[in-house]
Amino acid sequence: MPSLEDELFPSTPGKFKIERSNTMNRQFHRCFTSTSTMFLWALFLVALTASYLSFQSFVDSGSRYFSASWGGIQWEKHVRSSAQIHRSGGMSVLVTGAAGFVGTHVSLALKKRGDGVVGLDNFNNYYDPSLKKARKALLNNHGIFVIEGDINDAKLLAKLFDAVAFTHVMHLAAQAGVRYAMQNPHSYVHSNIAGLVTLLEACKSANPQPSIVWASSSSVYGLNENVPFSEADRTDQPASLYAATKKAGEEIAHTYNHIYGLSITGLRFFTVYGPWGRPDMAYFSFTRNILQGKPITVYRGKNHVDLARDFTYIDDIVKGCLGSLDTSGKSTGSGGKKRGPAPYRIFNLGNTSPVTVPKLVNILERHLKVKAKKNVIEMPGNGDVPFTHANISSAQKEFGYRPTTDLQTGLKKFVRWYLSYYGYNRGKRVN
């Protein structure tokens, strides 16, 4: 709002004094009358200016209301239309991080089965935002409205919950990546901790309260050496700041469940890969560099032990996300007050079949029909762990989670998408 920054006497004795006094009275009267007139004009000008500024403010506010990235009559229509349920017993889901890798796939799967879906994403530049914009276009083509906004924006979240009584929240927005935390640690606290708290605050105050499913990470197992990793294992030795923020998120979620009766399910994802994936992931960057004839860096653990990951195909992760939503139970609070106990759950979502990184490279070489130029070096102390391996028995028991895609099959589907998306024909890029 622009702010406003904000002009009379001697005497002598005797006869002349009376005459002069009369003269001075007349002069004073004229001066006073003139000053009063000027004062009135000044008041008039001030009032006119204030009226103009108030009108301009009204116009500006109205303009913002109709043209802002969120808010306004048309915006609310889009939100409500996108959230509309088209199946019996369906749900209305707010998906945060909807233009992200997992968020896009989960949103499409929910919409396909008739659920209402509204997306939220801040389109940050951690990796190429054009890929996120392309995912958004894909979602738009399927009738999913994606709002550009941040989960730390409490007013935006309040507006969304005011517009739609969401039954569920699928919280996938986060600052991802283990190594990037060494470059930009504050972004992890901003998104993974502050953002989570802002979202949970909105959910606890909503009426009715939604059930929440959110993405934790297999990284919380940190330096754990029990194999396979089980939800009952210790998670108090994180190896990276990313892992520490996800572990903190689990504790924060438990607090909101305990105090406010929010139904909360945390999902520990194990190395998700597939079409529309993240460019910072090894399988993605390996593919790019192999096709461009550039060397790839392959890390080894201590004593020349190959690193291994429990690579999990995106379709299997989506099945786990939907299964978690379907069995999440109800939140029990109302207006920020708990009425009774609500479910609090944590599940591993993995493939249960770890594969070494060299084997991953070999599979990519076969699908790309190009030999990789490899630089094999010892793993630096950057927060990575030597292996991951998921015990998925809890998810199997609770909602029938069973991964069906092996790495050979999953990478074949990824490579097919990659070549098509980036314009390659028989291994050569078409300009």
Would you please indicate which residues are annotated as catalytic (active-site) residues? Answer: 242
Report which of 427, 410, 138 is spatially closest to residue 270, judged by C-alpha positions.
410
Closest CA to 187 of 127, 131, 270: 127
Q: By C-alpha distance, which of 144, 98, 154 is closest to 121?
A: 98
3-state SS class at 265: strand
Show Cβ contacts of residue 310 under 8 Å, excluding neighbours closer than 6 positions.
218, 270, 271, 350, 351, 352, 353, 354, 388, 389, 390
* Nearest CA among 256, 151, 258, 265 for reference residue 204: 256
CA distance 317 to 234: 23
Burial of 192 (0-12, 13-18, 19+ CB in 10 A): buried
The separation between the first and the last C-alpha atoms of the chain, rounded to the nearest angstrom, is: 49
SS3 assignment, position 387 = strand
**Could you check whether the bond before residue 341 is cis, i.e. omega within 30 degrees of 0?**
no
CA 247 to each of CA 170, 189, 218, 238, 252: distance values in angstroms, whole numbers, following the listed order: 18, 12, 10, 8, 9
Question: What DSSP line would sit under 280-338, residue for residue?
Answer: TSHHHHHHHHHHTT-EEEEEE-GGGPBPEE--EEHHHHHHHHHHHHHT------BTTB-
Query: How far apart are alpha carbons 399 and 359 in whole angstroms?
Result: 31
Cβ-based neighbour number of residue 4 at 10 Å:
9
